Amino acid sequence: MCGIVGYIGNNNAIPVILKALEKLTYRGYDSAGIAIIEKGKLVVEKKVGKIRELIRALWGKSYQSHIGIGHTRWATHGAPSVENAHPQTDEGKNFAIVHNGIIENYQELKEELIKKGHKFQSQTDTEVIVHLIAEYYKGNLLEAVLKAIKRLKGAFAFAVISTFEPDKIVAVKKGSPLIVGLGKGENFLASDIPAILPYTRNVIPLDDGEIAVLTKDSVDIFNFEGLPVSKEIFVVPWDILSAEKGGFKHFMLKEIFEQPKAISDTIGGFLSQDLNLPFDIKNINRIITIACGSSYHAGLVGKYWIEKNAKIPNEVIYASEFRYADVPIDENTLVLAISQSGETADTRFAALSAKEKGATVVGIVNVVGSSLDREADFTLYTHAGPEISVAATKTYSAQLTLLYLISILLAHKKNLISKEDFYNRIDEFKKIASSVEKTLQLNEKISDIASKYKHSSSILFMGRWLNYPTALEGALKLKEISYIHAEGYPAGEMKHGPIALIDENMPVVIIAPKDRVYDKILSNLEEVLSRKGRVISVGFEGDKVLKQKSEKFLSIPYTDEEWTPLITVVPLKLFAYHIADQLGLDVDQPRNLAKTVTVE
Ligand code: F6R
């Protein structure tokens, strides 16, 4: 999704902005641009494609500027092109803007501005903001911005600079994320923390309805009425090195190998947190989980755990569906909003609407200080560290870990298990991290297997019970990074339709640890074999029956049936990774996708 950066200070703005933009590229983008003020004039450079195109365009041009804004764009309104790339400017070239989000009423504003004589150069919704600011500018940039935002509908974050006031950046947040980074004699702006980590760890995350005015020596925050707001400085705990590749070919592979640590750190973080719940469990008669993508799949596994251990009905709903459905919610409903980024618009807005209806909203997030973290009634954190690759891997493992812990915490609070039992189970559960470590030894074998299936046009994934969501996750991972069509199914549903797809060309991944549904899924496997499907199975080591029936067998260490989703998903992530890598695809930044989806 689009990325915003801004810099004002004693150093040359261009290298700072380019470096910061590079740190945001993991979010996905199709064009990039930068605007600076040099010798009182606005200089804008924009390119379609990768940041390196922008760097090449700036090569040899010895611009010196101490203020600038930059952007990576992921097209929503208007195709990827130089005209539509940001920064957008007014025709007088006195104002430049970078923007994330969507201006819903841009069409009517555009018509109004055209009637007033403004000339538009792009198809973007963004351009109306810069024209509005130019229209309202009467010698005070902050006042012009305050007036302009009153006219805008939608969720947005933007930063604006002007040749009339070249000593400041004005930034606005309503819906999309924006943070200010604090330096000495310099200040930064970014839509995501990794962009400014090379420069500072002291940040102020802006809340919705706030405006920041940055000069090189000061940062002032106002509300949309123009009144000052006081904010706390937040110190980012992440180590910059953990956002580098550390010898791995891709961030995705590095992050797959960081799963054991993500699991252990999440257990450690959970145990060091205050486990007194800020609500009375006796009043909760229902749990609703809202999430998107991989976080949704984690929520599906969590449902089985919560219903089994805490005996509370738990519905799992896509956040984008929840928002417009009439889901009965009241103060006896507990809502789990799962989002690694904490910025996914669908999840945030669904959580806010549940909160309005009286539910208690628990955020399950990886990014401390993110919007969902601040908007939820309270947050339980996954401790996976920064995830750079677009495809979620270690954050999924961390979410599963936390959801299991929540399920037994709720059970304990309901007196279904004793305190001693609660801590004993956690001690046992800690061993999962070393089982994941062991499973990672399959890496090379899976790379070989991937080479045999990489030209498939479609692959099915089947699982049952706790591993039905694993099948969904395996299919999602494969399709998003390899562009091979994949479907995840509960294996028992196969005979109700998908079985028609099976022939000698169809690889079918079957997840079959020896659990309560093992015999059932073996019958499903037979159904695949009798239609000549090619079975790749994931099962416990020593499972001769499964091995003998499969074209390829991936053996995972024996694990308590309840915890298998943390292990079975590991080979599936490696499978997707190696297929995409062997096909020569951009594994960390797959086409059309963004790491943080801040539009609805
Ligand atoms: C899949 C993936 C996405 C995200 C989804 C939700 O690999 O990364 O499906 O899981 O966009 O993102 P968060 O968890 O940040 O809300």
**What is the C-alpha to C-alpha distance for residues 391 and 591, in angstroms, rounded to an integer?**
12
- For ligand 1, whether the C-beta of 340 sits within 6 Å is yes
In tens, the pLDDT along 361-404 reads 999 999 888 889 989 999 999 999 889 899 999 999 999 999 99
For the annotated catalytic residues, the residue numbers are: 2, 595
Q: Quick one: pLDDT band at residue 591, thresholds 50, 70, 90?
A: confident
Q: Where are the domains of the chain?
A: 3-243, 253-430, 439-582
pLDDT class of 50 with cuts at 50, 70, 90:
confident
Structure tokens at 307: 């219903």
Reported as a single tens digit per residue, the pLDDT across 274-323 is 888 888 998 999 999 999 999 999 999 999 999 999 999 999 999 999 98
pLDDT tens-place string over residues 467-481: 999 999 999 999 999
pLDDT category of residue 198 using cuts at 50, 70 and 90: confident
Question: Which ligand 1 atom minimizes the distance to the CA of 293?
Answer: 9
Report which of 572, 26, 21, 481 is spatially closest to residue 245, judged by C-alpha positions. Answer: 26
* DSSP code for 228: B
List the structure tokens of 276: 């007194």
Q: Is residue 225 exposed (0-12), middle (13-18) or buried (19+ Cβ within 10 Å)?
A: exposed
How far is the CA of 359 from the CAs of 214, 335, 352, 388, 407, in angstroms?
Answer: 38, 7, 10, 32, 19
Site to substitute for ligand 1 among 191, 297, 344, most atoms within 8 A of C-beta: 344
Q: Ligand 1: does its nearest atom lie under 6 Å from the Cβ of 347?
A: yes
Could you tell me the distance, in angstroms and rounded to a whole number, from the CA of residue 113 to the centre of ligand 1?
38
Residue 57 CB neighbour total at 10 angstroms:
15
Residues 6+ apart with CB under 8 A from 343: 176, 177, 367, 370, 371, 372, 596, 598
Residue nearest to ligand 1 atom 4, measured at CA? 293
In single-letter form, the type of residue at position 330 comes to D
**Count of C-beta atoms within a 10 Å radius of residue 15:** 12
CATH superfamily of 3-243: Aminohydrolase, N-terminal nucleophile (Ntn) domain (3.60.20.10)
Tell the residue number behind the tokens 């984008």, with chain if given: 320
Span 415-447, pLDDT tens digits: 999 999 999 999 999 999 999 999 999 999 999
Mutate to test the pocket of ligand 1, among 256, 340, 375 (most ligand atoms within 8 A of CB): 340
Probe target for ligand 1 pocket from 251, 597, 598, with the most ligand atoms within 8 Å of CB: 597
259 lines ligand 1 (CB under 6 A): no
Q: Is 341 in the pocket of ligand 1 (CB under 6 A)?
A: yes
For the domain 439-582, what is the CATH superfamily, name and number? Glucose-6-phosphate isomerase like protein; domain 1 (3.40.50.10490)
DSSP three-state, residue 402 = helix
Is the minimum distance from the CB of 339 to ligand 1 under 6 angstroms?
yes
Omega before 565 within 30 of 0, i.e. cis: no
> What number does the ligand 1 atom closest to the CA of 597 have?
11
Measure the N-to-C terminal CA separation of the chain; round to a whole number of Å: 12
At the topology level, CATH places domain 253-430 in: Rossmann fold (3.40.50)
Return d(Cα 528, Cα 69) in angstroms, integer.
56
Q: How confident is the model at residue 76 (pLDDT cuts 50, 70, 90)?
A: confident
Question: What is the distance between the alpha carbons of residues 191 and 175, in angstroms, rounded to a whole number?
Answer: 11
Which long-range contacts does 135-141 make (Cβ < 8 Å, 24+ apart)? Answer: 137/94, 137/95, 137/162, 137/164, 139/164, 141/165, 141/168, 141/170
